[in-house]
Structures are given as structure tokens and as C-alpha cells.
């Protein structure tokens, strides 16, 4: 009996040589580390060293998150990944009325350079790689990080890490946008230019399919819409006067890894192949690094269950294995209790240990691309590639990613797929262990970690103290220069950095830009 994959593609019960009729291994595969990078972006992959184990964390105050980061480092994590609270992601200070009830809840509250200083206290920024899940205000958080590094005596040329900085997916699937698409793309181009000149080892964008997948996108939709966004960013940078090989090597991507191992492996391999061809054929990239789709992976939060949460340990292990078999460059494994609340210290440690078991107790790191030549995986790679290319063609027919967003195309496609998944789950056609099959009559009690609501008042007090102590004239002058740059064509990151150095807050800087660029208001026309 033929089953369907998550993308709605057929999975046959048996595959043989006929599955690869007319299939040219040299064209489809190549060698690991060579075009079209189906088998991985590096020749040796994990046989030389494992992927970067980058655990995503951040909650409450900067002091609390700093303690968690130090614990993760002590437990063997190789890179930090910062989660910011919703007000920070939306460019609001913790004492803004709109921030009420959300301060520190889904990430750490960062209002100024003072908070960023506390967040990385005692952590040498020339020794760690830091990823920041921040989009519309990505430039601000990167500059705050650079300012703290300067205080540590660490030059910007030594800083390594990534800002997510992918605002297009916010319009599609997540909603933490601030400015309209035009100014948002201009800001991203300014970040590309700034980092090339000032922070050359920094990954300037992490083009994200993860959040689309969390909203219900299939694997084919996830890579199609993510790569379409990537094409839009490249076009924006080229139109701003940059040579493609000046910025493309620092582009990175961010995908989900589900429990469906075979299709996930196929998805990652297809994504690398499509991106390599787009960069070579459409943009004429010459540097091999410009052709490489390097990506971070996070296990699928949307597949975690509040019912029998310990079962999530198994799900996360399977999802992590899929990411590794698919050739990820870094990985975050979710904690088993994240469907209930913030991870406890123990659950965060177990999540990291999951990666360490995969890296050091299995043999999946012993050889590059273990599934290469597999009848089923190669056929599924081709099938996912074909489905993704068809969706990308539809985006192009609408005028590109931004125009397709304005038509509601990606959002509608994802919502249709999410509805299909919900129907299958409700009918138990799609089995979710502990939810629609194999339930317990009574769930065992579990005590989750909760954020102290008092931190909202603490952050407000810190802001009041900051505003009383700083040179307000210097702040006002710096914000005036920022507005002037935003009105014209100068790179806004330089006056933005001056304002943040003068202790302007995240909300004040974003408000200055709102005055010039406006705020994005979605339409319901579709």
C-alpha cells in the first residue's frame, strides 16, 4: 500500500533500481563538498568534527539567562543561541504599555546596552559563537553585542555568530514584523554592507523555514518558500550595489527537523541542490562558498506534546538524527517539557546530551552522507526537489517573494496544509502517541519552570534608572542622526550604533525608525 509523505508525495512500499531510471549520479550527487552539494557542503562533514551543538535559551532577566548560558557551556554546548522576549522582538521597551504581561515570557528582555552587558557577563565573546533569534530589530541586537564585545576588548573582526534577520517569513508565518517590506529589505541590505566592513565573520541572515513549518508548512513548502525568500534577499543586495560573492558566503538558513526521517533527509539534500543551482545560474556566483546552503536545524517544537511529555525525548532524538543524516551545520534539540513551559535546567541538559549521544555514541559521524545512493532517499530527494521547484515557480509568477506575500500566496498554502494535518490528527489517521492513541487515563503531575512576573517591574526600574543617569542630549542628537540616515540613503547602522552607545533603548531606536518608515499593517484582502 502506497503511503503519502508529509508533502503529500507518494512513498512506495519497495524501491528498486527502476526508481532511479534516467538518473545520473554525477549530475545529481557529485562529491561531498562540491557542486551541487547534494551530499553536504564540506568534503569530510562530521568525520573531522561534529556539527555545532547550539542550544537555544533565554528567559526572564538578563541575569537569569546569563546563568543558563554558563550552565550550557559547562555541560559542553559549543554555541549559544539567544531567545528574546516578545517586546524585544517587536521593538518595544519593557515599560511600554503594549509590553505588559509579556516581559521575559518567551525569551530574555533586552532594553539597552546595560542588559546586553549583563547577558554576556563573564562569557568571552571571542571564544563563543552566538546566534540571535531576532528579526525586525536584528541590527540593534547585533550592535549591542558588538558594543559589549568592545567593552571586553574583543575586536569586531573576532566575533562569530548569526542574526536571524529574516523579516519576510515574519509576514508569512510568524508576525513579529515592525516596518513595511520595502524599508525592512533596505535595513537588511545595510546590515550586509555593515558586516562586510565591520564584522566580517558574522552570518548576516538566517533565512528561516522553521517558523513556516511550525505554522503548518510541508517539507516541500518549507524549502520552497524559504529559498524564494533567500532569492529576494540576494536580489535586494545586488540591487543595492553589492557583488554577490561579497555577501553570499555569509548567508545561512534555518530549517526544522521532523520525526519523518526519510523525507527530512531528502528535504535537506534537495534544498542544497536547488540553492547551488540558483546561485550559479541566476546570480552568476563564482565563489564556491556562495553556492553552499549552510543551515542550522531545530527539532520540531510543533510535534512536542503536553501529554506524556517524556515521550518527547524519543521524538527529539529521532528528529536530531534526521538533521544529522541530512547534513546540518548546527543543531538545537528541544527540551522534552517545552510544550508545557520553559525548559528546566535538567531538561535543557538532557536535550544537549541527546546531541552528544548522537555525535559520540553512534556511527553516523563515521561517513559522509550515509544515505547516498539509497533508492528511496534519492527518489524522495528528486520528488521533494520537483515539488519545491513548482512552488518556487508559482512565487516567481506572482512577481517574487514580496509580491507573493502581498497576494497571501505562501500564507494560504501553509494554512491549507496545516488544516489537512489537523484533520488527519483529529480523525486519528495521523497517529500522535499519547494524544489520539496510547493515551493515559490520568497524566502524571509535572512541575514546570515559570517566569517570575516581578521581572516586569524590575525591568521598568532599570529603565527609569538608565534614563535618569544617561546624557539625554547625546541620546536625542544620535536619534536625530538616525532619522536623517533613514530618510536618506546612508547606512543606518552607524548612527544606530552611536545611539545605542549613548544608552538609547531598543524601543526608542525602533520608534525613531517608525517615525520615518511607518509600521506594517497586514491586510485581510486574501
**Alpha-carbon distance 236 to 234, whole Å?**
5
**Alpha-carbon distance 345 to 353, whole Å?**
12
**Would you state the pLDDT for residue 523?**
72
**Would you state the pLDDT for residue 1?**
62
Per-residue HEC secondary structure of 317-345 comes to: HHHHHHHHHCCCCEEECCCCCCCCCECCH
**Would you state the pLDDT for residue 258?**
98
* Contacts (Cβ under 8 Å, ≥6 apart) of 480: none
The answer to whether 140 and 507 are in contact (CB under 8 A) is no
**Would you state the pLDDT for residue 526?**
40
The answer to whether 216 and 413 are in contact (CB under 8 A) is no
Q: Which residues pair with 268 in a beta bridge?
A: none
**Alpha-carbon distance 158 to 215, whole Å?**
36
Pairing of strands 251-257, 205-208: parallel
Pairing of strands 202-203, 160-163: parallel
Cβ neighbour number for residue 309 with a 10 Å cutoff: 21
**Would you state the pLDDT for residue 350?**
96
The answer to whether 173 and 222 are in contact (CB under 8 A) is no
**Would you state the pLDDT for residue 341?**
86
DSSP letter at 462? Answer: H
Element (H, E) at 302: none
Dump pLDDT digits (tens) for 75-114. 998 789 999 999 999 999 999 999 999 999 989 999 999 9
The grid cell for 89 is 522582538
**Would you state the pLDDT for residue 524?**
60
* Contacts (Cβ under 8 Å, ≥6 apart) of 271: 223, 226, 227, 253, 255, 293, 295, 388
**Alpha-carbon distance 493 to 93, whole Å?**
20
The radius of gyration of the chain from alpha carbons, rounded to an integer in Å, stands at 23
**Alpha-carbon distance 505 to 519, whole Å?**
18
DSSP letter at 55? Answer: E
**Would you state the pLDDT for residue 331?**
96
**Would you state the pLDDT for residue 63?**
95
Q: What is the pLDDT along the chain (526 residues), one digit of tens a residue?
A: 679 999 999 999 999 999 998 888 888 888 999 999 999 999 999 999 999 998 888 888 999 999 999 999 999 987 899 999 999 999 999 999 999 999 999 899 999 999 999 999 999 999 999 999 999 999 999 999 999 999 999 999 999 999 999 999 999 999 999 999 999 999 999 999 999 999 999 999 999 999 999 999 999 999 999 999 999 999 999 999 999 999 999 999 999 999 999 999 999 999 999 999 999 999 999 999 999 999 999 999 999 999 999 999 999 999 999 999 999 999 999 999 999 988 888 999 999 999 999 999 999 999 999 999 999 999 999 999 999 999 999 999 999 999 999 999 999 999 999 999 999 999 999 999 999 999 999 888 877 777 788 999 999 999 999 999 999 999 999 999 999 999 999 999 999 999 999 999 999 999 999 999 999 998 764 4
Amino acid at each position: 500500500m502506497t503511503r503519502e509523505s508529509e508533502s503529500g508525495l507518494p512513498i512506495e512500499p519497495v524501491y528498486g533500481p527502476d526508481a532511479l531510471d534516467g538518473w545520473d549520479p554525477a549530475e545529481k550527487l557529485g562529491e561531498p563538498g562540491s557542486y551541487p552539494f547534494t551530499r553536504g557542503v564540506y568534503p569530510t562533514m562530521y568525520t573531522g568534527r561534529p556539527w555545532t551543538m547550539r542550544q537555544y535559551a533565554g528567559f526572564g532577566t538578563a541575569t537569569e539567562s546569563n546563568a543558563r548560558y554558563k550552565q550550557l557551556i559547562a555541560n559542553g554546548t559549543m554555541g549559544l543561541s539567544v531567545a528574546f522576549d516578545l517586546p524585544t522582538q517587536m521593538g518595544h521597551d519593557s515599560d511600554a504599555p503594549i509590553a505588559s504581561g509579556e516581559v521575559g515570557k518567551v525569551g530574555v528582555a533586552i532594553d539597552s546596552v546595560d542588559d546586553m552587558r549583563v547577558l554576556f557577563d563573564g562569557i568571552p565573546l571571542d571564544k563563543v559563537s552566538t546566534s540571535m533569534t531576532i528579526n525586525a530589530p536584528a541590527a540593534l541586537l547585533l550592535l549591542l553585542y558588538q558594543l559589549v564585545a568592545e567593552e571586553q576588548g574583543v575586536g569586531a573582526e573576532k566575533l562569530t555568530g548569526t542574526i536571524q534577520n529574516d523579516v519576510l517569513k515574519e509576514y508569512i508565518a510568524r508576525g513579529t514584523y515592525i516596518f513595511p517590506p520595502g524599508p525592512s529589505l533596505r535595513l537588511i541590505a545595510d546590515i550586509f554592507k555593515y558586516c562586510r566592513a565591520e564584522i566580517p565573520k558574522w552570518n548576516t541572515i538566517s533565512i528561516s523555514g522553521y517558523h513556516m513549518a511550525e505554522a503548518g508548512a510541508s517539507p516541500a513548502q518549507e524549502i520552497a518558500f524559504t529559498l524564494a525568500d533567500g532569492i529576494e534577499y540576494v536580489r535586494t543586495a545586488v540591487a543595492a550595489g553589492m557583488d554577490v560573492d561579497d555577501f553570499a558566503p555569509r548567508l545561512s538558513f534555518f530549517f526544522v527537523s521532523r520525526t519523518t526521517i526519510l523525507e527530512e533527509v531528502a528535504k535537506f539534500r534537495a534544498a542544497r541542490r536547488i540553492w547551488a543551482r540558483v546561485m550559479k545560474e541566476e546570480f552568476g556566483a563564482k565563489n564556491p562558498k556562495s553556492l553552499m546552503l549552510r543551515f542550522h536545524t531545530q527539532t520540531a517544537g510543533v510535534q512536542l506534546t503536553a501529554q506524556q511529555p517524556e515521550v518527547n525525548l524519543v521524538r527529539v532524538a529521532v528528529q536530531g538524527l534526521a538533521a544529522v543524516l541530512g547534513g546540518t551545520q548546527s543543531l538545537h534539540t528541544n527540551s522534552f517539557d517545552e510544550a508545557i513551559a520553559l525548559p528546566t535546567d535538567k531538561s535543557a541538559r538532557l536535550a544537549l546530551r541527546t546531541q552528544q549521544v548522537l555525535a559520540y555514541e553512534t556511527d553516523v559521524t563515521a561517513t559522509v552522507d550515509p544515505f547516498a545512493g539509497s533508492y528511496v532517499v534519492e527518489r524522495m530527494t528528486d520528488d521533494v526537489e520537483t515539488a519545491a521547484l513548482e512552488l518556487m515557480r508559482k512565487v516567481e509568477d506572482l512577481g517574487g517573494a514580496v509580491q507573493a506575500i502581498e497576494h497571501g500566496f505562501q500564507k494560504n498554502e501553509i494554512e491549507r496544509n496545516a488544516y489537512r494535518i489537523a484533520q488527519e490528527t483529529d480523525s486519528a489517521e495521523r497517529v500522535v502517541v499519547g494524544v489520539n492513541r496510547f493515551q493515559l487515563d490520568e497524566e502524571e503531575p509535572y512541575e514546570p519552570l515559570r517566569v517570575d512576573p516581578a521581572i516586569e517591574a524590575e525591568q521598568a526600574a532599570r529603565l527609569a534608572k538608565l534614563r535618569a543617569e544617561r546624557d539625554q542630549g547625546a541620546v536625542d542628537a544620535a536619534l536625530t542622526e538616525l532619522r536623517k540616515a533613514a530618510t536618506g540613503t546612508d547606512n543606518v547602522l552607524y548612527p544606530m550604533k552611536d545611539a545605542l552607545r549613548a544608552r538609547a533603548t531598543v524601543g526608542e531606536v525602533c520608534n525613531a525608525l517608525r517615525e520615518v518608515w511607518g509600521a506594517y499593517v497586514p491586510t485581510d484582502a486574501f
